[in-house]
A and B are shown apart, each in its own frame.
Chain A
């Protein structure tokens, strides 16, 4: 048997050792330092929500870098650990690892309502704060609510009521027949439930609700069903890439029935491009909002990434900065201290006209919403300037809470 050590095997061994050391070292460092605040970030980077997750990651990196440039939080450096949450079971195990092995102070992120619920369960069990930036299901704020979960993302009710108010104003709900295309998973089902309640309360009726699998790419068969049903209004309760495919193909068939959405993400409109969009869509934030903090965010994001932020980027940025502010004000990174502080109604800059606050009984961020409609091609200043933003909903003379789900609609008790 040859046992002599050649130069090649020696090199291989050295490289291997270096690799192992490289992987091992951060773990050791992580366990020892206490002068950093570690923030865990989970969001889907693959699958039909991946396009939104990418914006989430860009934005949280920007927020953390900005905080560190300003000297960190309470003089402590912020360290970000951001990972792909993939699906509910992976999200759950990653959340557990982030909390128990990496010792993160809190977890921010997620987009899928199903994965959000999985993370919330871990957060509740380990008594660690989870700030949801992208899951819309009312159920997460209601039946599945959790003292350790806060919601920067708007609830489905908020999206429905924002869009619904505009549709009511335009006379498209009362006495009308609506048809819904609904994403066939937790978010879509929840959205349809809320939409149906709103439409029924306002004298309209859903004559059909077609559930669409999340991996559907061809909508022609659904569009033929719409043509057959002859509704007064087509409602998209779709999600992720489904929305892009649907609006492109709906345009292709040139049906006369107007469409509107109860759930939306700007990145998907950008993906469909000018000319494909039509109808009224809800929106939680758009980069044309002209408040100084909103424009500052848009400017620094665009400079760094070469394109403006969209609504998911807003979620991460607002969540990170709200938490940083709460930590500074409480002088603590302890989840229970932070929860107490935020439950007292602490106000935050949410890059809009009016400040936002977390509601104490369901932890929903109460803030303004908007609706948007496509701009004429000639009026767009660039490819991102696709949509015309409405005035804020609710109007300046109304309480912010009117668009949020009420206790009767969405009861939550923190056990």
Chain B
């Protein structure tokens, strides 16, 4: 194989690792989006809270503890937010939820700034996860392979929950027709709370996983939000596998772009979104959802 092609292929495969990064963040966003109809602009804030909790917990009890506890903590915060804020807006004008979550995002970012300062705070990966693995001539940091595994497990777990459990049946019915679910005598309220907690908890998990790689700073949520939205939009509203496919696409396209035109790295995903929306206005695997029509 010509060397040029090897390097290109390496970028493509690396794109899969980057996809794990996008996927962890976009999956929860998409879940809340499709079930609750809420465009959660505060999703990045939950991601940042996840990273900061990881630092606080990790410094005291080690990385493993923060890996388990930080997402749970963020999920718990998500439950409170769902119970007392989101719940009031499910049937309201979408503009109101935009304002609500935008406000939440700002409050969260400023709170982090007030508590921890604006400067990035250090957080490194545990010794046993640092280092690289060579597969042939390809190089992979162990930590990123671990992240790929975690992302895959998160996707699989969420998919099983939604598609293979009775709880999931209610969720899917709720997405299509919440009124009918109500008429059948099933309360959607606790289901919503759980799903928002899962969605937000995934953002927290992403925060924990990325804290050792990127800097931990208050605006980190904002940085990641736009990319997460692009992934959700490319994947298609309400589509589970669409998000997965879109994350992989964005990761790979970004890798190829960096290979040929480095300055266009971040722009490549917007171009991709533009092209996808031209051909498929509902996104790659977007479904028709009654309540959004």
Contacts and interface: CB of A to CB of B under 8 A. Distances in A.
Nearest to B18: A218
A55 to B, nearest CB: 7
A344 interface: no
Interface residues of B, number: 45
Contacts of B215: 241, 244-245, 248, 268, 271-272
Contacts of B267: 213
B217 A252 contact: no
B118 A249 contact: no
A273 interface: yes
Contacts of B7: 224, 228
Contacts of A224: 7, 10-11, 14, 139
11 contacts: A54-B118, A54-B119, A213-B263, A215-B266, A224-B10, A224-B139, A244-B217, A248-B214, A252-B143, A253-B139, A273-B124
Contacts of A211: 262-263
Contacts of B141: 252-253
Given A210-B262, A249-B214, A268-B215, 10 more contacts: A51-B118, A51-B217, A210-B263, A217-B223, A221-B18, A221-B255, A227-B139, A253-B132, A267-B119, A273-B123
B214 A272 contact: no
Contact of B122 (A45, A245, A249, A271): A271
Given A244-B215, A248-B215, A221 B265 contact: yes
Interface residues of A, number: 44
Interface of B: 7, 10-11, 14-15, 17-18, 21, 113, 117-125, 130-132, 139, 141, 143-144, 212-220, 223-224, 254-255, 258-259, 262-263, 265-267
Contacts of B113: 54
A302 B51 CA distance: 26
Nearest to A386: B122
Contact of A271 (B17, B121, B144, B212): B121
A221 B223 contact: no
A218 B263 contact: no
A365 to B, nearest CB: 24
B44 to A, nearest CB: 12
A47 B258 contact: no
A294 to B, nearest CB: 21
Contacts of B120: 51, 241, 244, 267-268, 270-272
A51 B112 CA distance: 12
B253 to A, nearest CB: 11
A268 B119 CA distance: 7
A218 B123 contact: no
Contacts of A52: 119
Contacts of A124: none
A201 interface: no
Contacts of A253: 132, 139, 141
Interface string A34-52: 0000000000011110111
Contacts of B216: 271
A252 B130 contact: yes
Given A224-B11, A248-B213, A55 B119 contact: yes
A271 B51 CA distance: 13
